[in-house]
Every structure is written in C-alpha cells, then in structure tokens.
Structure 1
Amino acid sequence: MSILSWLFCVLVTILIGHYGRGSGQDEEAKVKVSAAKNVFILGGQSNMAGRGGVRDGKWDGNVPPECKSNPLISRFNAQLQWAEAREPLHADIDVGKTCGVGPGMAFANEAVRARIGEVGLVPCAIGGTRISNWTRGSPLYNNLVRRATESVKDGSGTIRALVWYQGESDTVREEDAVAYKANFQRFILDLRSDLRIPSLLIIQVALASGEGKFTEKVREAQLGIKLSNVKCVDAKGLQLKEDKLHLTTASEVHLGIKLARAYLSH
C-alpha cells in the first residue's frame, strides 16, 4: 500500500469515528427526552380515589393484572416525592376513608403499553367533595395546584392532563346540580391559569351514580361542557358495588382503560 493510500484510510477511519460518536450522542439525547415523565393529575372524589375492593372499611388487597406496579409508573406521594406507584394510589392522600382500587393504575398501564414513555401520577382526589369545595383559593384547590406544580418543579416531567371524576356529591341538592356546569367550567379556567397551561387537557368522567336524586342533571352538565380540550368519558352502565354509589374493582379497571384511550386518541 502506498503512503497516500494509507493516509486516505486513516483519514476515513477518523471521520467515521467522529460522526459515529456524534450520532450516538444524538440517540442518547433522544432517549433522555423520551424518558421524561408524562405527568397526569388525578382529581375528584371517591370513585377517583378508589373504593374498588373496599368493604366494611377494609380493602381486600386484590390488585388486578391491569393495576400492577410497573417500573415506568411512579406516583407523587404526600411528602411531595416521586415513588413507586402501587395500589391504593390515594392511600396517603384521601386519608379520611379507606382507599382501594381506582382507575389510575389501569390508566397508567394502558398508557405505558401504548409506549408513551414514563408515566407520573399525582393523586389529589378526596371523597365526599362537591365541586364548590374545589373553587380557587379553597384548601383542596390550593393543594392540587401545589402538588401539580411541585411534581414538575425539577423539570423532569410535563403535565399532560387532569383526569377528573367527581360530581356524586353535587346530586343531593338541586341548586348544586344546576350550578355544576358553571362551577366546573370556572374550575377548569382557573386551574389552567394558575398552572400556566392555557390548553391543559381535561378528561372528565360523566357520572355512573350519585348520592342524591339529581344525578341526571349533573350528567347533563358534564356532557354539555363545550370548552376546548375537554374530553368526556361516560361511566354510565358500569357495574356498581352494593352501595349503588361506588364502582366495583372491575369497573374501575374498565374505566381506567377507557380514560387512557381517550388520552391516546387526543
């Protein structure tokens, strides 16, 4: 081999190595970007907090396959720290009642199966609450905003949506049911403003049950929300527990998957 040929080979090798390393760094950067948490806020009352498998104040401990823990799913705990997500998701949040299976883990696992990347859940639901308890400036509202803000404070995640299941307590008094649409729309606008996410996706659940006789009025309000980026998943027809108010474990799983598919189709 001549000296010129040898020099040419050396130059080609150096160039290949240089651009090969650059390509590898780009791939590494893409992996880091795709690995950022997709953060979902879980809000509302008891059917979001989860009463699946709860009877006589005790949870049966049954975790369906769709709700199993997954290394790609984390939860923002009461200490404002990310930890492994496991049922019951709201155990340290909705502390006034016994929590069981809700829709959150089934939602997260379905989203992960669709390969969206890492999922972070921020539980905020509290049982027995009316929409008026979530008005701007109230303790529940302030806590939701604080938890949502802190969950992405380090820059490792992005809030993708609020998943909301609430309204059963607004079916007791007619004035609450009539005012539900305006109150919920105000809640959405305030939350988007305070989180500085003007187009935040809201995935709400239309009630499957109610505590009072004005369930249909609240459902009508929920189904009639016309704000942009608000999707509604109807829970009507899902099986209820003996109390005729809370979803069974199987229904919570079914709902969680429906909510995930609503997000994925967005």
Structure 2
Amino acid sequence: MTGMNPIDWEWFDGPTAYRVYQRDETGCADIALKLKAKTGRGESGTITCALLPEPSRPGDTERTMQLHRDGEIHQGTFEKVPAGNYKLVVIAEGAAGFSTTISHVAVGDLYLLAGQSNMEGVGKLIDPERPSRAVRCFYLDDRWGVAKDPLCWFNEAVDAVHWRAPRERRADEAKMDRYFRRFGAGLGIRFGKEMYKYNGVPVGLIMCAHGGTSMKQWEPPAGAKRELPSESSMTSDSFYGSMMRRLAATGGRVKAVLWYQGESDAADRAQAAAFKKRFLRFVAALRADIGQPSLPILYAQLNTWLGDAAAFPHWNDIQLDQALVEAEIPGSALVSTNDLSLADAIHLDTSSLKRLGRRFAVLARGFCFGDETCARGPRPIDCRFADADRTKLYVAFEQVNGRLMPGKQIQGFQVANGDENVPIAECRRDKRDGSVVVLTFARPVPRRSVLGYGLGLNPVCNLRDSADLAAPVFRYPLD
C-alpha cells in the first residue's frame, strides 16, 4: 500500500496516503489500524503510533497510542479525530524495530460517483480541471491518490466487471491506455474543489461509474436482505456488487451519491418503461444496504441528444421520468444539463463537465449541509394565461436562486396542440417577478394544449438561475 515500507510488516490494514475517512455528525472519524509485523521486525516488541496534523502548526496536539497486541497482531484506534489532514508515524521499538510515516491521511467527506459515461467523464483531456491535494480519489484499483483526470482506468480495476479487455490481455491494454488515452475529463474534481472551497474539509471521490451501462445492469441482487460486504470480500460479478465492495473498503458511509445515467435505457422501449421503477429500487436498496436511509441522492437529468432520433427514441421519456423521481425520493435532487454543450452526439464536453461539477456542488451545499442559500434550481409550479384570448402565458417557477436568466430571448419552450406547434412570438422574464417567464403567442393557444421545455431532438435551451442551475426538461398540461 502507498506510504508503507514492505519490509516492516507482512500485512497492514489502516490509513494509506491520501485516504479520506468519512466524518460523522460531530465532524470527527475513528481511524483504526491493524498490522502483523514481519519476523524480526518488531513482532514481539512495542509498537507506538502518532497522528500529527499536516502541515504542523504551533500549538497542534499530537495524538499517540500504543497498539494492543493479540498474538502476532497489533491493533488500535484513534477515536474522534477532527476533520483535517494528518500524517501517521508508526514506530516499533527494539533492535530490530522500524519507523514508517504515512502522509496525507484525511478526515473529511466522501462522495460516491456512479452511473455511466457522463459521470465517468469522457471529455477531451484539453484544459481539464487541475488537481488539488484537497480532493482525492479511490480509484478502481482500490488505490487512494490525488484526484486527477481520468478517474476511470477500467483495465486496472480490481473487479472484473469493469475490465474492457480479456484477462490475458488486460495488463497490456492497461499499459496502452496510459500511453495513448486522450479522453477522460469529468465533473468530479471541480465538484470536490467547490466543496472544499465551501467548508475547507478534504474530499474523497469513490469512483464507480462505467460507460454504456443500463439501469438493469445496476440492479441490486434480488432476494433476502443484502449486507455490506466485508472489506476483504470480492463481489465483482455486478456493478452494484462492485460498488458495495468498494464502499465497504472505504468505511461503509458516504456524504452523498452523485449519479448520472439513463442514456442506455433511452434506446429500448422496455428498458425505458422500466427505468423509473428500477431507479427507485436502486436508491432504496443502496440506502438500506449501507444503513443510511436519508442518504442524499443528487442526480443529473439527461443532456440533449444530437444524433439520429431513431437511435434513442425514448430520450425524452427518460428525462421526464427523471423529473418525476425527485418528488418520489425524499432527500433527492435533480440537476439539469440541457443547456450544456457536447463533445459529440451524446457526451458533455470538458468545459460543460466542469460547469456541471459546480452545479452538483450547489445542490450538495443545500442537501448535505442545510445551506438555505442554495435552492435546488428552477422548477415549474404554475402556468396561467393572463388574457381571455389565451395569447399571453405566465409560467411561474419555484426553487429559484436569485432570478431567472436571461432576461429576454429565452429559448427551449414549445406549446403543442396534437401534432401542431403554436408559434411563440416572444419569451422573456417577467419585469416584476424574477421567478416568472412570460410567453407571448402569435395567435390564441387552443385548449388541451401542452407546454413543454427542452423536448424534442437537439433543443436549444438557455433558462437558468443566478446560481447557474438550469431549468429541467418538463411537460405541463394547459387547460
């Protein structure tokens, strides 16, 4: 493991360099360690550990403890360690003793990142988010390190479900990935840096996303109550199983889940029809299995699709189901992506992924830390015609941060009556109320029409609020 001298012990279970421990409600975490020293390297002597703030400052308190010995095993726990960065010094006394230092151990907040390619991050590695020691990643090879794009190296994964090459070719393919990969920028690092800027607490990203996966592939195993696997168990035959194993390996608790998935389900009618039910079941199982019934679930609504409409005929269906899920899962919040730019027909580009990371951070501030200055972003709440002729429609939004933007030339709305669209002459923000959009029509809107936002193939959308949270794709019936 990183930060350890292999001659000092046969095995070690505890802090490694850049590991982040999830703090509890009091802002602290327990840091446990257990080791078996090699023969002649302190196995029969006293082993003392010291935990020191890093960097050290005058007046800092050093925590020390002597490991308890049980046969050949030495173990102990630093209890109630406050949020911050530390280094661990392990000293075995005696002629054959040793001293080892493990730096960059942190107590902070862990976030689980899962879903498919837009969460994985496939932006071009041109001007990706710069790494920061405050933001770490638990990579797919179960190694902690500073978070640096790409965060997903599938052929280096511990769990075979992530491999993209046969076992016999995996090592060679992994090496080639390191030489030639040019894509892999994502949203995670920007999200982590925004959270660190907000509260000064180290951030750990547990990356579990995998491109091309459907909601069916993320289904939890059926049957009796599942339990969080032990850190040593190897549940690698499913994406859910791999995720649970990796959660166990990082302590079993996280601050929130960041989720971006649904593209694959939009290609098939049966998959799309089952999407909402599967997502609800996934969230319920995850919360139950890790014992966090109120775990915040922050998820992205699908972005726009620029390709052939026939390839993903249920794209809007998934988007609309995602909008409905928010009301059915307490402690969940949707982040819209329909105004962001793409690198290809389906994937957000690097600059948009950075922007999305910042949007996720706004939601996390509100849902994880109770920050009342952070609303979840514009949500339609009411639609009313201002005149008997039905040519001026007021669309009111709630959960707006500041006011809606832009002030005029708002794009993305449409009104349909059957197969016919009603022309919109003007769309602008109400001059008296910054949470209302006013649509003016060239002719009266027939009854039983439907207002839509962000629907169709490659819509142009630009409605957002002062915190840069965008309005979601939605459909609203007009009486």
TM-score, with length taken from structure 2: 0.45
| Partners of 1:42 and 1:124 within 8 A in 2 | yes
Q: CA deviation at 1:74?
A: 0.9
Matched, 1:256 2:357: yes
Matched, 1:219 2:319: yes
Match of 1:237 in 2: 339
Matched, 1:100 2:184: yes
Q: CA deviation at 1:195?
A: 1.2
Q: Which moved more, 1:230-239 or 1:91-100?
A: 91-100
Q: CA deviation at 1:70?
A: 1.0
| Partners of 1:63 and 1:87 within 8 A in 2 | no
Matched, 1:265 2:377: no
Matched, 1:188 2:307: no
Match of 1:41 in 2: 112
Q: 1:24 to 1:76 in 2, by over 3 A?
A: closer
Unaligned runs of 5+ residues in structure 2 are 1-58, 62-77, 85-106, 165-176, 222-236, 306-310, 368-479
* Alpha-carbon distance in 2 for matches of 1:71, 1:172: 40
* Greater share of residues in strand: 2
| Partners of 2:140 and 2:152 within 8 A in 1 | no
Match of 2:69 in 1: none
Matches within 5 A, 1:1-266: 32-35=81-84, 36-53=107-124, 61-64=125-128, 67-92=129-154, 96=164, 99-137=183-221, 139-152=238-251, 158-210=253-305, 212-225=312-325, 226-241=328-343, 243-266=344-367
Match of 1:17 in 2: none
* Alpha-carbon distance in 1 for matches of 2:60, 2:186: 41
| Partners of 1:105 and 1:256 within 8 A in 2 | yes
Indicate the RMSD between aligned Cα atoms, in angstroms: 2.3
* Alpha-carbon distance in 1 for matches of 2:149, 2:246: 19
* Alpha-carbon distance in 2 for matches of 1:101, 1:168: 19
Q: CA deviation at 1:179?
A: 1.3
Q: CA deviation at 1:119?
A: 0.2
* Alpha-carbon distance in 2 for matches of 1:257, 1:32: 29
| Partners of 1:168 and 1:209 within 8 A in 2 | no
* Alpha-carbon distance in 1 for matches of 2:218, 2:247: 15
Q: CA deviation at 1:116?
A: 4.3
Q: CA deviation at 1:78?
A: 2.4
- The one-letter code sitting in structure 1 at the alignment partner of 2:191 is F
- The one-letter code sitting in structure 1 at the alignment partner of 2:238 is P
Q: CA deviation at 1:81?
A: 2.9
Match of 2:15 in 1: none
* Alpha-carbon distance in 2 for matches of 1:79, 1:249: 24
* Alpha-carbon distance in 2 for matches of 1:187, 1:216: 21
* Alpha-carbon distance in 2 for matches of 1:81, 1:195: 21
* Alpha-carbon distance in 1 for matches of 2:143, 2:198: 26
Over alpha carbons, which structure has the higher Rg? 2
Q: CA deviation at 1:34?
A: 2.0
Q: 1:95 to 1:250 in 2, by over 3 A?
A: farther
Q: CA deviation at 1:101?
A: 0.7
Q: CA deviation at 1:84?
A: 1.5
What are the superposed Cα offsets for residues 140-174 of structure 1, whole Å, 9 maximum, x if unpaired? 00001111121126xxxx51011000000010012
- SS of 2:358's equivalent in the other structure is helix
Count of equivalent residues: 227
Point out which structure has higher relative CO (alpha carbons under 8 A, 6+ apart): 1
- The one-letter code sitting in structure 2 at the alignment partner of 1:134 is W
